[in-house]
Amino acid sequence: MPEPAEMSGPEVAKTPGGGAPGKEGKEPVANGHSEEGSNPFAEYMWMENEEEYNRQVEEELLEQEFLERCFQEMLDEEDQDWFIPARDLPSVSVGQIQQQLNGLSVNDGNSEEIARKSSLNPEAKEFVPGVKY
């Protein structure tokens, strides 16, 4: 059993003398009070700080709820940042994709015009990565 100084709540009433200071080791009488009867409410003294205890527990519960909410918001934000194909891509059938691919073509008609307007040097050596000229 913990020391009387560490007890709170109804456990104090179970100690000899009802938890009243200076009453350790004295036997309670049948009515639960010591023979001297200096404090008839000694077994209820734990209730003295009940409001403070309730306030403290309520603060802890609110803090825990706040942390859970923040954690959930963080997970939701992280989900939004990730690319998830099933969620982020429009649902397109294979037939639609094949139609789009069939519509693509390489247009060689403009390549001559693009080459004439280009500012690149057609006489330059071919670029090879890692080779210094």
Q: How far is CA 41 from the centre of its chain?
A: 45
Q: For 80, how many CA atoms within 13 A lie in the half-sphere containing its CB?
A: 6
Identify whether the C-beta of residue 43 lies closer than 8 Å to the C-beta of residue 13: yes
DSSP alpha helix (H) spans, 21-83: 50-81
* pTM of this structure: 0.33
Per-residue pLDDT of the chain in tens (133 residues, 90 and over written 9): 444 444 455 554 444 444 444 445 555 555 554 555 688 888 887 778 888 889 999 999 999 999 999 999 999 888 887 877 777 777 777 788 888 888 887 766 677 777 778 888 878 888 888 888 7
Question: What is the spatial distance between Cα 105 and Cα 108, in angstroms, rounded to a whole number?
Answer: 9
